[in-house]
């Protein structure tokens, strides 16, 4: 869906420019270490950020990716358990549209606790629960439908941009796959995000009068 892709990219750029204002608070010219949970080199390339010589970014995902930039490294890990890292190991933990993919609020709380433990600062974004268009299936009010109906629609209709190692807009091949797809997504409201990051501030991304996404950020004053 090129229209939605264009909107999403513009929103990402606006959100990233907001992020850069706060990153400058910890940029003293010395090395800055960032843990990007769920991030890719392509994302940072699109934001024209790969040439920052004093920034070293660790990309943490469920699988390892090849990187072609010396200031990036890719590791395999679980956002719910970052025990490989010590307290305050990173200047910043960054995450874009990942926390809603953890199946349950309990898992989201585990991720939030680890984010706050290993990072001196953080910038964590989540698509808001309430806008009329669900951001993964691109269907109006999809998130409000009963669970079994969402599974049925994912199994029998090609919706949105949700994908598991396949091209976009392909329906699930089996009931089990549809069940897992729907179970995986738990969009968070602003109230829930605040409960996970009570000491953080809120950045609300607006589109057509709705709060499209919510970012919880914590940087020094």
Same domain, yes or no, for 40 and 109? yes
Q: Is the per-residue pLDDT at 14 higher than 80?
A: yes
Handedness of CA 39, 45, 49, 55 (dihedral sign): positive
User: Do 90 and 158 share a domain, yes or no?
Assistant: no
What spatial distance separates the first Cα and last Cα of the chain, rounded to whole Å?
Answer: 40
Strand partners, 59: 36, 74
* Same structural domain, 80 and 154: no
Residue 97 has pLDDT above 60, yes or no: yes
Domain membership of residue 49 as a residue range: 2-130+185-218
Task: Give yes or no for a contact between 7 and 207, defined as CB atoms under 8 angstroms apart.
Answer: yes
Which one has a higher pLDDT value, 17 or 207? 17
CA dist 186 and 103 (Å) reads 6
Q: Count Cβ atoms below 10 Å from residue 192 Cβ, excluding itself.
A: 16
pLDDT cut 70: percent of the chain above it = 91
Pairing of β 92-96 and β 55-61: unpaired
For residues 66 and 159, state if they share a domain. Answer: no
> Is there a single domain that holds both residue 94 and residue 168?
no
Report if residue 36 sits inside a domain: yes
Closest among 41, 12, 18, 26 to 121, alpha carbons compared = 26
Q: How many domains does the chain have?
A: 2
Q: Is 1 helix (H, G, I), strand (E, B) or coil?
A: coil
Q: Tens digit of pLDDT for each residue in 121-169?
A: 999 999 999 988 898 998 899 999 999 999 999 998 888 765 444 444 5
Same domain for 18 and 102: yes
Q: Are residues 9 and 60 in the same domain?
A: yes
Q: What is the pLDDT of residue 1?
A: 45
Among candidate residues 19, 50, 80, 8, the one with its CA nearest the CA of residue 218: 19
Is residue 41 within 8 A of residue 51, CB to CB? The reply is: no
Tokens 């395999």 belong to which residue? 76
Residues in Cβ contact with 186 at an 8 Å cutoff, skipping those fewer than 6 apart: 100, 102, 103, 104, 105, 108
* Residue 138, burial from CB neighbour count under 10 angstroms (0-12, 13-18, 19+): middle
Q: Do 89 and 177 belong to one domain?
A: no
Q: Among 88-102, 181-195, 198-212, name the one with the lowest average pLDDT.
A: 198-212
User: 58 and 160 share a domain?
Assistant: no
Mean pLDDT, all residues of the chain: 88
State pTM to two decimals: 0.88
In this structure, is residue 9 part of a structural domain? yes
């Amino acid at each position: 869906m090129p229209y939605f892709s264009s909107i999403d990219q513009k929103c990402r750029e606006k959100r990233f420019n907001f992020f850069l204002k706060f990153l400058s608070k910890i940029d003293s010219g010395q090395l800055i270490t960032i843990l990007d949970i769920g991030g890719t080199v392509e994302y940072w390339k699109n934001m024209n950020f790969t040439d920052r010589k004093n920034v070293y970014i660790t990309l943490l995902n469920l699988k390892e990716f090849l990187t072609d930039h010396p200031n990036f490294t890719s590791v395999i890990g679980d956002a719910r358990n970052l025990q490989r890292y010590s307290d305050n190991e990173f200047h910043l933990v960054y995450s874009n549209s990942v926390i809603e993919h953890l199946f349950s609020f309990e898992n989201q709380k585990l991720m939030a606790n680890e984010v706050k433990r290993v990072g001196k600062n953080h910038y964590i974004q989540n698509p808001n629960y309430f806008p009329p268009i669900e951001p993964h299936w691109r269907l109006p009010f999809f998130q409000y439908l009963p669970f079994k109906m969402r599974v049925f629609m994912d199994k029998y209709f090609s919706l949105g941009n949700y994908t598991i190692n396949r091209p976009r807009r392909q329906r699930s091949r089996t009931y089990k796959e549809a069940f897992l797809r729907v179970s995986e997504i738990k969009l968070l409201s602003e109230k829930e995000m605040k409960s996970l990051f009570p000491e953080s501030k809120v950045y609300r991304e607006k589109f057509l009068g709705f709060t499209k996404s919510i970012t919880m950020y914590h940087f020094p004053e």
